[in-house]
Chain A
Amino acid sequence: MSKTLVSMTLNGRQVEEAVEPRTLLVHFLREKMNLTGAHIGCETSHCGACTVDIDGQSVKSCTHLAVQCDGSDVKTVEGLANAGLLHAVQEGFYKEHGLQCGFCTPGMLMRAYRFLQDNPTPTEDEVRVGMAGNLCRCTGYQNIVKAVLHAASTLQKNSVAA
């Protein structure tokens, strides 16, 4: 099958690669870019384990073509930490025991990362709705909700300090 050139900013780095037009973004990330943080849990955009951030929106990369990202700014879980410092959402999940098997975690983190930019001071119920596109089979969400609220409070403190 003939290939198409795609170029994008991926975790702040410019990348260019020839791909089959049918290549799903999640396969592009995992197999071509060796970024295996985004996981495949359902192939039908229900579970959210493949969630990444594209041009400021949460996107389920299992139902998005790599060629659709040509010229886009894409961020994955591997791009969350900055110079060895964990992002507030990562720290929140760690501190509040917001993960168990870890399979949903990268998608959860990427969704939380975007959600807290859209709504920096959410209520618990808003967190539940905001995270409803991501499924977890282990935690029962109670600690995930706490983790997101923990991150919200950290980000608030940081922005005040800044």
Chain B
Amino acid sequence: MNAPISDREKALMGMGESRLRKEDARFIQGKGNYVDDIKLPEMLHMAIVRSPVAHARILRLNKEEALKVPGVVAVLTAEDLKPLKLHWMPTLAGDVAAVLADGKVHFQMQEVAVVIATDRYAAADGVAAVEVEYEELPVVIDPFEALKPGAPVIREDLAGKTEGAHGKRYHHNHIFTWDAGDKEATDAAFASAPITVKQDMHYPRVHPCPLETCGAVASFDPIRGELTTWITSQAPHVVRTVVSMLSGIPESKVRIISPDIGGGFGNKVGIYPGYVCAIVSSIVLGKPVKWIEDRIENLSSTAFARDYHMTGELAATADGKILALRTNVIADHGAFDACADPTKFPAGMFHIVSGSYDIPSAYCRVDGVYTNKAPGGVAYRCSFRVTEAVYLVERMVDVLAQKLGMDKAEIRSKNFIKREQFPYTSAFGFEYDSGDYQTAMDKVLNAVDYKGLRAEQAIKRADPDCPTLMGIGLVTFTEVVGAGPSKICDILGVGMFDSCEIRVHPTGSAIARMGTISQGQGHQTTYAQIIATELGISSEVIQVEEGDTNTAPYGLGTYGSRSTPVAGAAIAMAARKIHAKAKKIAAHLLEVSEADLEWEIDRFKLRGNDAKFKTMKDIAWAAYNQPPEGLEPGLEAVHYYDPPNFTFPFGAYLCVVDIDKGTGETKIRRFYALDDCGTRINPMIIEGQIHGGLTEGFAVAMGQLLSFDKQGNIQGNTLMDYFLPTAVETPKWETDHTVTPSPHHPLGAKGVAESPHVGSIPTFTSAMVDAFAHLGVTHFNMPHTAYRVWQQLKAVGIAS
């Protein structure tokens, strides 16, 4: 076959093509296979008895009535789990969490008992019949109150422990102090700086709220001693390790399957009591047990995100050059420290807080605190607290600009890490791989006619009859993703590498298995494109499988934008091993030396001779029937990729808002998002990820909030109250890109799906505050609901 090169390249549908998704055929025909779709013979259903109060002792728990309910098979409490030592479990953050309340409940909706029954209706009837008597205790929901001397003791199980997993605890509700940077140098820079600014801000407690809730189907085979569990997990291999450690079942007899996952966004990284109880129930009863959370349970008890009370400070010269950054955070972790961060980083990658700016001195400190709220602190569509960090620094740069009367774009230009400074080591020690922030920002400013917008705003500000306040938000963010180098990043001691196994079949098709798991990111489509380009095999004949620990190589999973930076690199490296072997086979078949061969799209050819070649398909066949002497038959490879560094995607976002002066209602007039994720594998999928991330960012900034009353009652844990935007509220997004490849990634790719969430949230706040900037307002907290904005309008005397 001697088709033109361009046709051959197109036929591969490899990297750079907007290839339509392989996964769609099943989803559009109702044939997805999510956890709740799993149905096994004799399967039982589990439901959870939860605490109606936030802090109480359990005086009495009676399961007799529940056991009389038709269909109820068993009721399990902490007392039943105690002999198995499973009433408490380790968290990913080095703490322990109650699986079922052990004499005391620590937050509303905490798991107290489980009911197992023949169907889900009977299980729910059983839950209603379990009698629990509580003695209420004083509740503390504010982390600052929690740190006061006489505050209620939330974790009696930690009494007398002055040392936690991350060092000293100075108070009974204190979890850890973590800091980074140079405190002395930073303090000195602040002491002598001509200009300093300081701003308190709260990043509210929100929830990732994927449309599919969490759940599991556990099936223990007592004869074989094997446990199979289908689970909504973003990290099935880690779950297998934890389940083996907790249950004592050898890891080789534990099979964890993440089937189709209905969105994750960080909510499905952790290990929840419901999963553990479903597994224990199946082991105890010898039958498959299904547990599926409802939405109220999901919003109330599984991992929330954020809840960071932050103080930011910048020191600068009078003309706006930033000299130092200092930040202090009180982090509300709820009742158990169940964050899912790399072990050594209890505040995740918060030290990316120096952002896109060349700041000589910086220091940050985070104190984790227990409160009577649900545990969590997960990365909601972000790489471990990067969202909080980016919010803080972007807000502070705006605050400084305002203090100096400088334009937001001008102050950013003045402080950017310049293109020629890369690789750049930040004051916190991160080595930024590549970036070109000025080009990105300029492209956005030109696209939206920034000067024109500012002129329009000036006219509107001068007109007292103008019915709206106009605000312009600008953010130039840098993320740190792709965790991460195993010398510094691990989860439960397992390094954060990722893996790929590729097998090329005799007829030239291939299957790849990965340690990651898609929750909508389209891995089946994009991973195949990488292999297609690397190996010259059409992506149409490349199958990609993930999520089954019995077949896939060990990997740390999909979160923190790590699939492309880590697993994507593993794919390239595995493919290159195959490529190298294929070259030997081609040389043998063509009876030439390897040095005389060159690679061209889908074949090795004799250098400069188009007529003498072997395609990868020819080579695959030969690999199985006439390999050169001394070479093993077969054409496959495995690669475990331990990244040498993180990747640092960046972007420049601009938003224009018009706020109704009478009602506080906000119209997002325009949102322009430019992302640079390095090499782009599938532009269609990238754009889809960006739309989704921007929409989640919009939801967080403009309406999401998990709030609590003083008694610790969660306010708004249904979709009636928790804001998920519909197609009507959601703005229309404009997207753009630049391409600055990562020099250390085999493909130059950096990861993209979280940037739009991380970057858009401060952009909305920047725009909202900008609308009030001429009135001396420097900051107000999210969410920017009409009511809260109306309060702001009242505070400045505009609304009455």
Contact = CB atoms under 8 A, between A and B. Distances in A.
A93 B265 CA distance: 22
A46 B39 CA distance: 26
A23 to B, nearest CB: 8
Contact of B718 (A40, A42, A49): A42
B239 interface: no
Given A132-B726, A138-B520, A101 B29 contact: no
4 A-B pairs closest in CB distance: A37-B30, A101-B520, A103-B262, A102-B27
B20 A97 contact: yes
Interface string B14-55: 000000110111111111101011010000000000000000
B27 A99 contact: yes
B213 A41 contact: yes
Interface string B686-728: 0111011111100000000000000000000011100010111
A100 B688 contact: yes
B628 to A, nearest CB: 44
A94 B719 contact: no
A106 B32 CA distance: 10
B693, B718, B730 — which one has the most chain A CB atoms within 10 A of its CB? B730
Interface centre among B28, B522, B687, B726 (most CB of A within 10 A): B28
A101 B519 contact: yes
B29 A100 contact: no
B724 A135 contact: yes
B212 interface: yes
A86 B26 CA distance: 12
A5 B295 CA distance: 30
Name the residue among B20, B691, B727 with the largest chain A CB count within 10 angstroms: B727
Nearest to B735: A142
Contacts, number: 180
Contacts of A149: none
Contacts of A80: 29
Contacts of B29: 37, 77-78, 80-81, 86, 90
B211 interface: yes
A31 B45 CA distance: 12
B111 interface: no
Contacts of A30: 36-37
A137 B724 contact: yes
Given A35-B30, A39-B34, A127-B727, A97 B718 contact: no
A30 B519 CA distance: 22
Contact of B684 (A97, A99, A144): A97
B691 A140 contact: yes
B120 A137 contact: no
B37 A132 contact: no
A18 B509 CA distance: 48
Given A43-B294, A44-B295, A102-B262, A97 B212 contact: no
Given A47-B211, A128-B727, A135-B211, A103 B719 contact: no
B260 interface: yes
Interface string B288-311: 000010111000000000000000
A118 B211 CA distance: 27
A109 B26 CA distance: 13
A103 B727 contact: no
A76 B30 CA distance: 9
Contacts of A38: 30
A93 B28 contact: yes
Nearest to A24: B121
Nearest to B522: A100
Given A41-B211, A41-B295, A103 B32 contact: yes
B521 interface: yes
B295 A142 contact: no
B90 interface: no
A103 B34 contact: yes
B21 A97 contact: yes
A73 interface: no
12 contacts: A30-B37, A37-B32, A81-B29, A86-B28, A90-B29, A101-B520, A102-B28, A102-B260, A102-B520, A135-B211, A135-B726, A139-B688
A97 B718 CA distance: 29
B30 A137 contact: no
Contact of B30 (A46, A93, A94, A106): A106
A59 interface: no
B673 to A, nearest CB: 11
Contacts of B212: 39, 41, 101, 103
A39 B213 CA distance: 11
Given A47-B719, A97-B21, A142 B211 contact: no
A137 B692 contact: yes
A36 B263 contact: no
B261 interface: yes
B211 A136 contact: yes
Contacts of B260: 101-102
Interface in A14-44: 20, 22-23, 27, 30-31, 34-44
Contacts of B691: 139-143
A114 to B, nearest CB: 16
A96 to B, nearest CB: 9
Given A30-B37, A44-B295, A93-B24, 20 more contacts: A31-B119, A36-B32, A36-B37, A41-B719, A43-B296, A46-B719, A49-B211, A77-B30, A81-B29, A90-B29, A99-B21, A102-B260, A103-B263, A106-B27, A132-B727, A134-B726, A135-B726, A137-B692, A140-B692, A142-B730
